Amino acid sequence: MKIFIFAALLALAVAKNFRVKKDNKTCALLSLDGNLELTASQNASQVGKEDLPFSGATLIADSTCKLIKLNLSKSAQVWFQFDNDQQNWKVTPVSTFIPEQVFGDAVNDTTALVLNAKPLEVFPMTSSYLCKSSAQLNFVPRTEPKDYNFTVTATINNFQIQSLNAESFSTKEKECVADTKPKDYECKSGNKTVIMMEGNFTLDISYFKEEGGKVQNVTKTIIVPAPENATTEGSCDVKATTQSLSIKFFDTWAINFVFTKKDSSYSVTNTSVVYTFDDNLPGHNETGSVTVNFAFSNDYLKASADGYYICNAYLNNTKNGVTLSSKNFKYRAFDENGKGFEGNVSECSADEDTSSVVPIAVGAALAGLVVIVLIAYLIGRKRTRKTGYESV
Ligand SMILES: *[C@@H]1O[C@H](CO)[C@@H](O)[C@H](O)[C@H]1NC(C)=O
Ligand SMILES: *[C@@H]1O[C@H](CO)[C@@H](O)[C@H](O)[C@H]1NC(C)=O
Ligand SMILES: *[C@@H]1O[C@H](CO)[C@@H](O)[C@H](O)[C@H]1NC(C)=O
Ligand SMILES: *[C@@H]1O[C@H](CO)[C@@H](O)[C@H](O)[C@H]1NC(C)=O
Ligand SMILES: *[C@@H]1O[C@H](CO)[C@@H](O)[C@H](O)[C@H]1NC(C)=O
Ligand SMILES: *[C@@H]1O[C@H](CO)[C@@H](O)[C@H](O)[C@H]1NC(C)=O
Ligand SMILES: *[C@@H]1O[C@H](CO)[C@@H](O)[C@H](O)[C@H]1NC(C)=O
Ligand SMILES: *[C@@H]1O[C@H](CO)[C@@H](O)[C@H](O)[C@H]1NC(C)=O
Ligand SMILES: *[C@@H]1O[C@H](CO)[C@@H](O)[C@H](O)[C@H]1NC(C)=O
Ligand SMILES: *[C@@H]1O[C@H](CO)[C@@H](O)[C@H](O)[C@H]1NC(C)=O
Ligand SMILES: *[C@@H]1O[C@H](CO)[C@@H](O)[C@H](O)[C@H]1NC(C)=O
Ligand SMILES: *[C@@H]1O[C@H](CO)[C@@H](O)[C@H](O)[C@H]1NC(C)=O
């Protein structure tokens, strides 16, 4: 059922394509999904709201190779205007609409409003611009309207645009910054990713909290930011036998890992947590930073040199009132050949226990089937005996 719903959602999320032609040749292409949300307010109270999906948009006939105009319903339009910026395109999103036609009688205003959003990142004229990540375009009126305030925001996903004589999108794509943000905590040596780590980390920190004149020993759970919202640094020379990775967040906080290679395997030999008494620990009565070191024996999170380590179950380490936990943890270090998460997998024992559930279930089902067939056979044999037919 879950899979079915997921598939249905995927099908809905297929981007809509638009094609501008000149002399029967395609000269501009646009693909996107998402919606345009418009609200009208007067004296700080909302008087109208509309949500128009791009899936219902059509290309306006007077679009040109340098101005793609989309018609959403109710007179609302979204344009993408191409301007030269040396060898690049600068694309400015524009929105225009007639308030009364969008919001109905509640908004008594029939003058067309024109609004601009910030230009997209510039991209070479010979490329397309691609942004799969969700982005918001906030449109601001060119001239402030008198009687109403409007907010116009487009949420766009799977966006791709180009202005170039071509039937399809150029294979040269300029990816948006959001798409190129790392999905992993990683360390690169040159252009090689030598350490890769994934996981959902939390810190449970116990500290003294002052509130209403009382001081209490409390525990605060901190969710460590995902790779795109953290800074990752490391030391990962391919030839070294010790490498390290630091996940830095909240300006001064960090989780550090030290990896050591030995013969045909590597492992985590040291992890440390650095936290600061700051706004993330409200009501703290102390100041400064604290470092907690977890030193491990050589085999902790041990992986084969030609593979990686995985532990989907919780991995928790507690010391000095700090618990570092991970879930869906995965890492590889000393990756000289850029294999990433490929090759020999080393799993934590907790995962092996859960992954044996499936084989046991399959085995039980097969055993059950054998019993049923046997019973059916025996009953069948009894019946054939009774009817006098020859038995096999
Ligand atoms: C475009 O193609 C149509 C039919 O495919 C043809 O009738 C028309 O003359 C063409 N126009 C140009 C400018 O080539
Ligand atoms: C529009 O918003 C501004 C600032 O929030 C406010 O000062 C102004 O009164 C609003 N105008 C109307 C017509 O609601
Ligand atoms: C909004 O405020 C202005 C002046 O403050 C007033 O003249 C107008 O009637 C108000 N409009 C509504 C819809 O309340
Ligand atoms: C936009 O579409 C509407 C129908 O949904 C149509 O009435 C209107 O003329 C179109 N506008 C333009 C500029 O094509
Ligand atoms: C709309 O505004 C015009 C002029 O500003 C006015 O004559 C008309 O009565 C208004 N209509 C409504 C429904 O408020
Ligand atoms: C990485 O850099 C080396 C030289 O520094 C180059 O030969 C190689 O093609 C690069 N690999 C990739 C995937 O860019
Ligand atoms: C868990 O980690 C994965 C991989 O880093 C990330 O994609 C996902 O968003 C995280 N989930 C939460 C709830 O943080
Ligand atoms: C709070 O209490 C727990 C358990 O009693 C202890 O482990 C922890 O060190 C205490 N925290 C502080 C800041 O003293
Ligand atoms: C990164 O931070 C932004 C802003 O706080 C948030 O909207 C986004 O969900 C975060 N990304 C992840 C993967 O947690
Ligand atoms: C914080 O409060 C605890 C418990 O009352 C106390 O032991 C500790 O000395 C206080 N720390 C500071 C810096 O005042
Ligand atoms: C663990 O690493 C920290 C720095 O990350 C270091 O200060 C500490 O000495 C190391 N501990 C051990 C036992 O190696
Ligand atoms: C590990 O930590 C997580 C979250 O902090 C917690 O839900 C889980 O119960 C802990 N597991 C063990 C075995 O302590």
What whole-number percentage of the chain has pLDDT above 90?
A: 74
Q: What's the gap in Å between 264 CA and the centre of ligand 7? A: 30
Q: What is the mean predicted confidence (pLDDT) over 311-317? A: 96
Q: Output the pLDDT for position 14.
A: 77
Residue 12, SS3 per DSSP? helix
Nearest alpha carbon, ligand 2 atom 8: 43
In short, whether 26's Cβ falls inside 6 Å of ligand 12 is no
Q: How far is the CA of 63 from the centre of ligand 4 (A)?
A: 13
Q: Take atom 1 of ligand 2 and give the residue whose Cα is closest.
A: 149
The answer, yes or no, to whether residue 327 has pLDDT greater than 50, is yes
Q: CA-CA distance, 70 to 80, in Å (whole number)? A: 9
Residue 370: CB partners within 8 Å, gap ≥ 6?
none
Pick from 50-59, 184-193, 277-286: least confident: 184-193
Cα 95 to Cα 80: distance, rounded to the nearest angstrom: 9
* CB-ligand 11 contact for 270 (6 Å cutoff): yes
H helix or E strand, kind and range, residue 368: helix 357-387
- pLDDT score, position 8: 41
**Is a pLDDT exceeding 80 seen at residue 366?**
no
Say which ligand is closest to the CA of 144. 2
Question: Distance between CA atoms of 88 and 179, rounded to whole angstroms?
Answer: 20
- Atom 6, ligand 1: residue with shortest CA distance: 24
Measured in angstroms, how far is the CA atom of residue 23 from the centroid of ligand 1? 7
**228 pocket-lining for ligand 7 (C-beta < 6 Å):** no
**Which run of H or of E encompasses 58?**
strand 58-59
Residue type, 71: N
Residue closest via CA to ligand 9's atom 7 equals 229
Domains defined for the chain, CATH in brackets? 15-175 (2.40.160.110), 181-348 (2.40.160.110)
Query: What is the Cβ-side half-sphere exposure of residue 240, based on CA atoms within 13 angstroms?
Result: 14
Helix (H) or strand (E) holding 361, with range, is helix 357-387
| Per-residue model confidence (pLDDT) at position 13 | 60
Encode pLDDT of 142-186 as tens digits.
998 888 999 999 999 999 999 998 999 998 999 998 888 788 999
